[in-house]
């Protein structure tokens, strides 16, 4: 049985879809990976379609789109045939978000290292706690060092929450690769963005215990 990672955060634009895509491609270098888009915005699905014509799309991924009552079944099916299933969720707490979180081995929450993003994550953290799911936070668009980042790190640690020790910086490379249907590890395998995503994959695997 594969591991299911639900990328969730009520705050819009936190980087859920970008992170799901980047992690999926990097994980697929050494494992079989499915991505499941349950967001009606469908950005990950469009990215998946772009991959079909992207010459640099080196990794094979299974792409699925689903919502509603069949979601749980789809997750079970995908996890039976893949090492990892990444679910991209919409910026809302609704029944689909609950289904995705219920089916997840880990709920991954991207956030800007600033208090409003942690406040916005409370709904997702509460839902994960209700469903007794493991959570991990990851800083996205993070400055290398800032007073706010340190303050957030301290607050997260004080609450006993897990923060992946590899943050993602704000890099045009992420948005550019996404726009071409690629991961940064495909678009520029030796870029800093690619190194960052590979480090995030290692931290993610450690958090999930695989």
Ligand X SMILES: Nc1ncnc2c1ncn2[C@@H]1O[C@H](COP(=O)(O)OP(=O)(O)OP(=O)(O)O)[C@@H](O)[C@H]1O
Q: Smallest distance, Å, CB 81 to ligand X?
A: 26
What is the per-residue binding string for Mg ion in 137-176, x denoting contact by CB under 5 A? ----------------------------------------
Q: Which is nearer to ligand X, 135 or 140 (CB)?
A: 140
184: its two tokens = 């940064």
Residue 198 binds to ligand X (criterion: CB under 6 A) = no
Nearest to 204 by CA among 97, 100, 83: 83
Residue 207 binds to ligand X (criterion: CB under 6 A) = no
Which of 3, 8, 17, 66 lies at the binding interface for ligand X (CB under 6 A)? 17
Residue 148 binds to ligand X (criterion: CB under 6 A) = no
Residue 13 binds to ligand X (criterion: CB under 6 A) = yes
Q: In what order do the strands lie in the sheet with 3-7?
A: 62-65, 33-37, 84-88, 3-7, 106-111, 134-139
Report the alpha-carbon distance of residue 149 to residue 170 in Å, rounded. Answer: 14
Task: Determine which helix (DSSP H) or strand (DSSP E) holds 138, and give its type and residue range.
Answer: strand 134-139
Residue 168 binds to ligand X (criterion: CB under 6 A) = yes
Report the alpha-carbon distance of residue 176 to residue 38 in Å, rounded. Answer: 23
Residue 168 touches which member of Mg ion, ligand X, none, C-beta under 5-8 Å by kind: ligand X
Which of 4, 5, 11, 17 lies at the binding interface for Mg ion (CB under 5 A)? 17
- Of 12-20, 28-36, 143-151, 159-167, the segment contacting ligand X by CB under 6 A is 12-20
Dmax over CA atoms of the chain, in Å, equals 47
Q: List Cα–Cα distances, 107 to 116, 137, 153, 180, in angstroms.
A: 19, 8, 18, 27
Report the alpha-carbon distance of residue 136 to residue 147 in Å, rounded. Answer: 22
Nearest to 59 by CA among 191, 204, 187: 187
Q: Which is nearer to Mg ion, 101 or 155 (CB)?
A: 101
Length of the chain equals 210
Q: Which is nearer to ligand X, 77 or 169 (CB)?
A: 169
What is the per-residue binding string for ligand X in 70-99, x denoting contact by CB under 6 A? ---------------------x--------
Contact positions vs Mg ion (CB under 5 A)? 16-17
């Amino acid at each position: 049985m594969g591991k299911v990672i639900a990328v969730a955060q009520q705050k819009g634009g936190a980087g859920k879809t970008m992170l799901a895509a980047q992690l999926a491609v990097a994980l697929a270098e050494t494992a079989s990976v499915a991505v499941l888009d349950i967001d009606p915005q469908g950005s990950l699905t469009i990215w998946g379609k772009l991959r079909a014509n992207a010459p640099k799309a080196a990794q094979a991924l299974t792409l699925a789109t689903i919502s509603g009552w069949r979601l749980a079944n789809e997750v079970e099916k995908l996890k039976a045939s893949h090492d990892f299933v990444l679910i991209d969720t919409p910026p809302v707490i609704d029944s689909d978000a609950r289904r995705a979180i219920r089916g997840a081995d880990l709920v991954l929450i991207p956030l800007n290292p600033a208090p409003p993003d942690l406040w916005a994550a409370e709904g997702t953290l509460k839902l994960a706690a209700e469903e007794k799911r493991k959570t991990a936070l990851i800083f996205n668009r993070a400055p290398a060092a800032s007073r706010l980042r340190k303050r957030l790190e301290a607050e997260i640690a004080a609450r006993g929450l897990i923060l992946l020790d590899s943050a993602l910086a704000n890099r045009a490379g992420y948005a550019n690769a996404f726009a071409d249907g690629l991961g940064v590890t495909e678009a520029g395998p030796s870029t800093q963005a690619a190194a960052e995503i590979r480090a995030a994959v290692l931290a993610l695997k450690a958090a999930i215990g695989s």
